[in-house]
Amino acid sequence: MMTGESMGVRRQNLARLARLTRKELRETLRDRRTVITLVLMPLLVYPLLSISFQKSLLVNVQQTTDEVYSVGVESQAILGEYLQPLLARGDRILKAREQAESERSSAGSGATSPAPAARVSFRWFPGSPLEQHVRNLDVQVGVRLRPLPTVVGAPRGLQPVYCELIHRGNSPTSQRALRFLEERLRAVNDASVRERLANSGMYPGLPAEIAYQPVAADTTTPFSLATLVPLVLILMTITGAVYPAIDLTAGERERGTLETLIAAPISRMALLAAKYAAVLTVAVLTAVVNLVAMSVTILSSRLGAELFPGGLSLVLIAEVFALTVLFAAFFSAILLALTSFARSFKEAQAYLIPVMLLAIAPGLLSLMPGLRLNGLLAVTPLLNIVLLSRDLLEGTAAPAMMVLAVVSTIVYAAAAIALASRVFGNDALLYASRGSWSDLFRRPELPREAPTPAATLFCLAVMFPCFFLLANVAGLRVGSVHSQLILNAAITAAVFGLCPLLFSAAQRVRLLAGFQLRPAPWWAFVGAASLGTSLWPMAHEIFLFGRWLGLASLDASQFAAVERMLDAFRVIPPAVVLLTLAVVPAVLEEFFFRGYLFNGLRDRFRGGSIVVVSAFLFGLFHVLTPSLLTPERFLPSCFMGLVLGWVCYRTRSVLPSMLLHAIHNGLLLGMALNRDRLAARGWNLPDAEHLPRMWLAVAVVVTAAAGALVWYATRATNAASERIRQPHRAD
């Protein structure tokens, strides 16, 4: 139970927080750029969008009601004597047929008559050569006619002719004109054949009469326009939060006023909360102004019926506003976390440009009509709110997916705030000098034991495009499977081995210490080898769990391609296959991820957090394959990364992790190549089914025993290291 004194202290702290929040808001709203973003941009943008939408609608209506085709002929005489009579008769036949079908459809279903067809007219251009006119875009279609021998009894003006239609295959307009002419000429031919059969007393019918009945939905949503609304709202909300987030963190650090705030009698978390409240308030105000401006513009311009067939109701506006506020809370936290790293206004702007591009990408993906909000997308940051807003506008939002998207976004916002609280007001950021690109490439005077975090991340950023480009170039090379395997192993060695070696040499990082190539206890190697044999059943179950969540992109054809690839591997010496596909990737991936990257980020991420970060990057790298995205590999790769990172963390050496990784890869590859032999002996390994419970139980027991062995083998070393660090902490 709270005492009166503690309640007084709490009220005093809340009062300080409120005053600090008001101070941040006053400074933010006094900024002219914030006012322009908040008020003037919505007043200008939405009327311009309204004009563009209405212009688009008018152009579409005009295109559906009137169309003129340019047709070239060799001479005016041929046009009047042959082509125009054929087209006129074909047009009459098609109109009579359409009218009869419309009457039958109306009598059977009581439906209203269809919308009037487009009015098509021709501009005739006599002259030759026709091919040149079509190629030069003078006409859409050229018609070359050659009279055939006269047929006795042919209708007047309909003597047989040879008709050649010249068109551009890559032009939609030329294709539409071609179809229009072809339909009428075919109608004349079909009618002529039926008439001759009837006159000769033969049965004029066909074995299969085909009729087409287009069916339209009762209500159709104009996707191309309505789905732009969430994207526009999100972009405007982001714009409102950018400048306050930069100004209240990097701006104050650049002006030298952040030190004064840090010295104030208030916690850094409370100071960050006040700044977050200010950024969120400005973002929400921007969302309100944008929502009001959008609603007024839609209602006043009569675009509501086109954008929202169900009507723009207050409930719909409230739902979209609530989602926009949620997105503003999420993005304000992200912006605040990023700008807390920056030492200057310019540096913060450089950080935010990629974030803006990442925010636009989900909005563009939401324009895809086949993209639905499922379990995976409902927990994908940014994309979940965009898709949920689109589904609300279309009236198709599922309650379960709505709850999942909202809860996951709140969790992501809280995680971003937690990250910002760790770096906000950090002494290294407050008092460190501004870095430049030359600092990244400047070679230190003395050797070092580990790479810097900046160099580590820069190396990772260089490795990904190198791996992507080299793997794609290797895929273009046609050769034997044997040479392809060796080439892929060489690319892996160049990317995961040569790149970090070059970066470490440039920074004078000691090879053995920088890549953690230290000796480890022998019992740790035994435990790592045991883990390599026991982890695959759990990785398989995690793979199935990921596919159940929606992390699936491979179809039956791609699995069949994998089977063909395995068949090709079976004719190659097993030593070559194991070396290139199991040992080389395992050793070199551990050389980078648990060696260079793990050691370089250890100072930034203390304790077990470095294990999680390296596992996440390890899983992400296995998803971003050069040929396609394989999201189903993310969860099992992260699981393996966690175990490999823990082993490296305990042993302080990358060598046991290399052994574990190589045995795991080799075991999976061996089972895949010898699946038929294993099945013949009763070891049937299902592909898409859960493993037997006995297998899983044995795997769990062996994994626990192997983990305990690694822990036991390294307990003395870790205890000694802890005793060495304790005096330094006391100092």
3-state secondary structure of 381: coil
Show the CA angle centred on residue 567, arms to residues 561 and 572, nearest 5°: 130
Distance of CA 140 to the CA centre of its chain: 39
* Mean pLDDT (whole number) for 385-412: 79
The structural domains of the chain, with segments of one domain joined by +, span: 13-55+223-431, 74-100+117-193, 470-730
Rounded to whole angstroms, the Cα distance separating 687 from 421 reads: 45
Kindly tell me the sign of the dihedral angle through the C-alpha atoms of 443, 447, 452, 458: positive
Under the banding of pLDDT at 50, 70 and 90, the label for residue 578 is very high
Lowest-pLDDT range, 177-181, 249-253, 481-485? 249-253
Beta bridge partners of 165: 143
User: Tokens 């859960």 label which residue?
Assistant: 690
Is 352:340 a contact under the CB 8 Å cutoff? no
Rounded to whole angstroms, the Cα distance separating 585 from 621 reads: 13
Strand order in the sheet with 66-73: 119-126, 66-73, 141-147, 161-167
Rounded to whole angstroms, the Cα distance separating 542 from 548 reads: 10
Look at residue 591 and tell me whether its pLDDT is greater than 90. yes
Beta bridge partners of 639: none
The closest of 592, 546, 577, 545 to 665, measured between CA atoms, is 577
Look at residue 491 and tell me whether its pLDDT is greater than 80. yes
The closest of 126, 118, 46 to 84, measured between CA atoms, is 126
* Mean pLDDT (whole number) for 169-185: 81
Rounded to whole angstroms, the Cα distance separating 678 from 671 reads: 8
Is 138:84 a contact under the CB 8 Å cutoff? no
Show the CA angle centred on residue 548, arms to residues 542 and 554, nearest 5°: 90
3-state secondary structure of 393: helix
State residue 707's pLDDT score: 93
Rounded to whole angstroms, the Cα distance separating 241 from 351 reads: 14
3-state secondary structure of 667: helix
CB atoms under 10 Å from CB of 651, counted, come to 25
Under the banding of pLDDT at 50, 70 and 90, the label for residue 271 is confident
Beta bridge partners of 123: 70
Under the banding of pLDDT at 50, 70 and 90, the label for residue 588 is very high
State residue 636's pLDDT score: 92
CB atoms under 10 Å from CB of 266, counted, come to 17
3-state secondary structure of 141: strand
- Tokens for 557, please give them: 């054809």
Beta bridge partners of 125: 72
Cis check for the bond before 129: say yes or no (omega within 30 of 0).
Answer: yes
State residue 594's pLDDT score: 93
Is 578:666 a contact under the CB 8 Å cutoff? yes
| Phi, psi (degrees; rounded to nearest 5) at 340 | -70, -20
State residue 638's pLDDT score: 93
Under the banding of pLDDT at 50, 70 and 90, the label for residue 243 is confident
- Tokens for 397, please give them: 């939002």
Is 89:144 a contact under the CB 8 Å cutoff? no
Kindly tell me the sign of the dihedral angle through the C-alpha atoms of 637, 640, 642, 645: negative
User: Tokens 């699995």 label which residue?
Assistant: 559
Select the more confidently predicted residue: 544 or 643: 643
What is the greatest pairwise CA distance in the chain?
117
Select the more confidently predicted residue: 111 or 265: 265
285-317: buried (b, 16+ CB within 10 Å) or exposed (e) per residue?
bbbbbbbebbbebbeebebeebbbeeebeeebe
* Mean pLDDT (whole number) for 600-624: 84
Under the banding of pLDDT at 50, 70 and 90, the label for residue 75 is confident
pTM: 0.58
Look at residue 308 and tell me whether its pLDDT is greater than 70. no
State residue 255's pLDDT score: 76
Look at residue 156 and tell me whether its pLDDT is greater than 60. no
Q: What is the mean pLDDT of the chain?
A: 76
Among 10-14, 32-36, 635-639, 719-723, the range with the most confident prediction by mean pLDDT is: 635-639
pLDDT digits (tens, 9 = 90+) for 352-391: 777 777 777 776 776 676 677 776 677 777 788 888 877 7
- Tokens for 304, please give them: 């509501």
Look at residue 497 and tell me whether its pLDDT is greater than 70. yes
Look at residue 721 and tell me whether its pLDDT is greater than 70. no
Is 663:529 a contact under the CB 8 Å cutoff? yes
Look at residue 217 and tell me whether its pLDDT is greater than 80. no
Q: Torsion over CA of 119, 125, 131 and 135, rounded to 10 degrees?
A: -70
pLDDT digits (tens, 9 = 90+) for 192-205: 777 777 777 666 55
The radius of gyration of the chain's CA atoms, rounded to the nearest angstrom, is 35
Show the CA angle centred on residue 561, arms to residues 558 and 564, nearest 5°: 160
For every residue of 163-197, which 3-state class applies, written as one string? EEEEECCCCHHHHHHHHHHHHHHHHHHHHHHHHHH
Q: Return all residues near 352 (Cβ < 8 A) that are at least 6 apart.
A: 242, 246, 335, 338, 339
